[in-house]
Structure 1
Amino acid sequence: MPAPALPVMTAPEVSAYLDEVFPQIRANGDNIEVIEVSPGNARVCLHADEQHLRPGGTVSGPTLFMLADLAAYAVILAHIGRLALAVTTNLNINFLMKPAPGALEATASILKLGKRLVVTDIAIRDANGELVAHATATYSIPPQN
């Protein structure tokens, strides 16, 4: 098995780049942070509050989907650099538990980093460390001139 890809950006660099090219992620006051980047991995945290809830008081599916997609984007940017036009081509998510409001942490891992496609695996856990959702995402990398 090949060694994991080495990151080319740190967590603060990825966060700053996201603020630069994708400020919409904070448009609703979302508290999202890239908290760690390591070889082949990135961790993203979202503090889910009232705006992220569905009827019944649990975190909504669209919020979990957004967190999975953002974690995939963060791990990819951390490993390919400042290529804002990398785009999601597929994302599949399984909702495993109904998480309560509070901290949610998504750990994204690169399964395959090719020249044109990146395949990732994302685990979303609640504040107790319980797995609440699992996703896989594929991104297309723009051609580099």
Structure 2
Amino acid sequence: MDIAGIQAVMRRGVPLAEAWGIEVLEAAAGRALLRLPAQPLLLRPGNTISGPALMGLADVAMWAALLSLTEGRDESVTSTMTVNFLRPAGSGPVLAEARLVKRGKRMVFGEILLRAEGSEEIAAHITTTWAVIGPTAA
């Protein structure tokens, strides 16, 4: 499945991703790179992207990484998410780099790094596990 296909599945499955304008920049082989554009709606006091917005971006990025392995057919769900906020992400666009670390029959373990676009400094480090739910028949 190509990037446009993964983005379409993602936006149908998580309408908030479309409302926030989240873009899939890359997705292949259990990895994904997504971009959250700057939006005043997502800012918190201090003029930085809010924690809930960053967690939502991370969750969608992990799903995009999973979709890259399943031809866009995956109904797995988040089981746990541990977020370490390391520094403010700023008020501009944020990039999420997701990768599957281990994919088992019942659980998937992944890691997501968030950073402000144009910066190499990590704003948040996220680890997550997902419960595997088999893809539905087309």
TM-score normalised by the chain length of structure 1: 0.85
Counterpart Cα distance in 1 of 2:135 and 2:31: 23
SS of 1:48 mapped into structure 2: coil
Select between 106-115 and 74-83 the one with higher mean Cα deviation: 74-83
**Partner residue, 1:82:** 72
Over aligned residues, Cα RMSD in angstroms?
A: 1.7
Counterpart Cα distance in 1 of 2:107 and 2:45: 37
- Tell me the amino acid that sits aligned with residue 80 of structure 2: N
**Structure 1 position 39 matched with structure 2 position 2:** no
Judging changes above 3 Å, is the alpha-carbon distance between structure 1 residues 40 and 143 closer, same or farther for their aligned structure 2 residues?
closer
- Tell me the amino acid that sits aligned with residue 31 of structure 2: N
TM-score normalised by the chain length of structure 2: 0.89
SS of 1:83 mapped into structure 2: coil
Contact 1:53 1:59 in 2 (8 A): yes
Offset of residue 135 of structure 1? 0.2
User: CA offsets, 1:33-88, max 9 Å, x none?
Assistant: 11101323110110132111111111111111111111111101111233352100
Contact 2:29 2:65 in 1 (8 A): no
Counterpart Cα distance in 1 of 2:135 and 2:50: 37
Pairs within 5 Å for 1:38-57: 38-57=28-47
Counterpart Cα distance in 2 of 1:115 and 1:80: 13
- Tell me the amino acid that sits aligned with residue 91 of structure 2: P
Counterpart selection for 2:2 from 4, 10, 22:
10
| Identity within the alignment, % | 35
Counterpart selection for 2:61 from 71, 75, 78:
71
Counterpart Cα distance in 2 of 1:141 and 1:82: 14
Q: Moved runs in structure 1, 4+ residues, more than 4 A? A: none
Q: How many aligned residue pairs are there? A: 135
Select between 131-140 and 33-42 the one with higher mean Cα deviation: 33-42
Pairs within 5 Å for 1:1-145: 9-27=1-19, 30-127=20-117, 128-143=119-134
Offset of residue 126 of structure 1? 0.7
- Tell me the amino acid that sits aligned with residue 25 of structure 1: A
Contact 2:10 2:60 in 1 (8 A): no
- Tell me the amino acid that sits aligned with residue 81 of structure 1: E
SS of 1:138 mapped into structure 2: strand
Judging changes above 3 Å, is the alpha-carbon distance between structure 1 residues 62 and 118 closer, same or farther for their aligned structure 2 residues?
same
- Structure 1, gaps ≥5 residues long: 1-8
